Structure 1
Amino acid sequence: MKFSTPLISGRLVKRYKRFLADVILDEDGSEVTAHCANPGSMLGLKEPGSRVWLSRSDNPKRKLKYSWEVMEADGALVGINTAHPNGLVEEALMAGRIEALSGFASLRREVKCGKNSRIDILLEDESGARTYVEVKNVHLMREAGLAEFPDSVTARGAKHLAEMSDMVAEGHRAAMVFLVQRPDCARLSLAADIDPNYAAAFKFAREAGVEAYAIGCSVTTDGIQVDKLVELLV
């Protein structure tokens, strides 16, 4: 995934109200409010003074012209925009980077699943057999080289796991794909201390037959690309 326009560098003043971030731009010293497309806590990724990069939209209908895309943390560039993971995983699937999820004939995004939910990606083979794929963004790192999910309590995430277990019970495949938007992690585990309910739901889902994979990204100010498998320690 390439950014459509060159990113603009700055320094983070603060992130607040979950979806807002004040940034001082390097180019002229002005302060702008950017959209932060990230509902998580962003633990360890919101320190004032951190170097960040924003994209700018020329859409006149947008209230906030800037979007927070990338930041520097622990000496690495980290992608923080959670609007990108589904597209990045789609690119990885199309390129055959997740071998266990290859061989599909069609790929669709945001397909209705269960009672009141949508699955991120639905794969179908030539016979019509379905694989339901749920994508989770990961950028928490508390121990060097180890990514963790989630970074805050996610009742919605636990619900998705239960629905995926239901899909397996109906005879379909279901797979959780953790997308690590930082290049400095080679392993991933669950942050059970942050959300024990999610960890329990994940264990139940795995026992029910839900598959799980983790992939990592290279992150630059030009774009983000899936380039490796990440060892899953659960």
Structure 2
Amino acid sequence: MQFSSSLQQGVLIQRYKRFLADVDVQGQALTLHCPNTGKMTGCAEPGWPIYFSTSSNLKRKYAHTWELVQNNLGHFICVNTNQANALVAEALANHVIMPLAHYSDIKAEVRYGSENSRIDFLLRADNQPDCYVEVKSVTLLDDQPLDSQKRDETSKRELGQGYFPDTKSERAQKHVRELMQCVQDGHRAVLLFCVLHTGITRVSPAHHLDPVYGALVTEAMAMGVECFAWRADISPQGMYLVQELPFIG
């Protein structure tokens, strides 16, 4: 997925009111729309380089949208969570995700479930059960041991641990329950974690931030809900899903 227009670069001053960010662009302050409602832990440090797009819609109050940030280790992070579904849609259409490559009919945003949800993608193929795919955007990288007694083990293990969600999410809990019901109804159900941080090398549920969600994912996997994590290659020119990562429930 290439960006529709060249991204401009600035330096982050601050993110505030959840949907706004001020950046320095060649000495001039500019306010951007921030399309991310999460905590953005490790994704919004003042002084970091950021990249933003510009809309041609003259009716927008803020014409510019924050797309990427580059952290102090040089990793690119896509903070525009709307891009996760676009990346997955492209990958599904191009048969990149091999466990899902045989589906010929791909529909987005289909209403389903008893809790009034919309599935990100409903996949269908001849003589196959329907496949319900829920996409989650992963940007939280946390390599610090949760237990202070285990801090010495940090140097002994591989870095790059990513988590979802980055805070308690009742909405994410609901989606897992809906997928569990899909399996009970005889369908295929997939949690697809779209990794939008180039420093993440594996993904786990954030049991320490949302223990209810973590327990639900563990239960869902035991019932047959499939969990995949795919990392995007990210640059100011574009993004593509390129690599499956280990998912550790």
TM interval, shorter chain, is over 0.9
Q: Distance in 1 between matches of 2:39 and 2:131?
A: 30
TM-score, normalised with respect to structure 1: 0.96
2:153 is aligned to none
1:228 is aligned to 243
Q: Distance in 2 between matches of 1:72 and 1:36?
A: 15
With 126-135 and 173-182 compared, the bigger mean Cα shift is at 126-135
- Which runs of structure 2 are paired with 1:46-195 in the superposition (5 Å)? 46-73=44-71, 74-115=73-114, 116-127=116-127, 129-143=129-143, 144-195=159-210
1:179 maps to a residue whose letter is C
TM-score, normalised with respect to structure 2: 0.90
Check whether the contact 2:189–2:226 (CA below 8 A) recurs between aligned residues.
yes
Please list the CA deviations of residues 52-97 of structure 1 after superposition, one character each: whole Å capped at 9, or x if unmatched: 0110112011111010000001321111100111110111122222
**Given the superposition, is the C-alpha separation of residues 128 and 189 from structure 1 closer, same or farther in structure 2, using an over 3 Å criterion?**
closer
Q: Distance in 2 between matches of 1:94 and 1:186?
A: 25
- Which runs of structure 2 are paired with 1:4-15 in the superposition (5 Å)? 4-15=4-15
Give 5+ residue unaligned stretches, structure 1. Answer: none
The sequence identity of aligned pairs, in percent, is 39
SS of alignment partner, residue 92 of structure 2 = helix
SS of alignment partner, residue 207 of structure 1 = helix
SS of alignment partner, residue 142 of structure 2 = strand
Deviation at 1:221, TM superposition (A): 0.3
Q: Distance in 1 between matches of 2:197 and 2:141?
A: 9
2:156 is aligned to none
**How many residue pairs end up in the alignment?**
232
Q: Distance in 1 between matches of 2:61 and 2:127?
A: 46
Q: Distance in 2 between matches of 1:140 and 1:110?
A: 25
The counterpart of 2:34, out of the listed 33, 36, 41, is 36
2:151 is aligned to none
Two-structure CA RMSD over aligned residues (Å): 1.2
Q: Distance in 2 between matches of 1:224 and 1:104?
A: 23
Dislocated runs of 4+, deviation >4 Å: none
Please list the CA deviations of residues 109-143 of structure 1 after superposition, one character each: whole Å capped at 9, or x if unmatched: 00011131100001001236310000000011111
Please list the CA deviations of residues 23-62 of structure 1 after superposition, one character each: whole Å capped at 9, or x if unmatched: 1113xx2211111111111001111111101101120111
1:72 maps to a residue whose letter is Q
Q: Distance in 1 between matches of 2:34 and 2:198?
A: 21
**Given the superposition, is the C-alpha separation of residues 34 and 121 from structure 1 closer, same or farther in structure 2, using an over 3 Å criterion?**
same
1:99 maps to a residue whose letter is M
Q: Distance in 1 between matches of 2:19 and 2:212?
A: 25
Give 5+ residue unaligned stretches, structure 2. Answer: 144-158
Q: Distance in 2 between matches of 1:139 and 1:203?
A: 21
SS of alignment partner, residue 89 of structure 1 = helix
Q: Distance in 2 between matches of 1:146 and 1:113?
A: 32
1:21 is aligned to 21
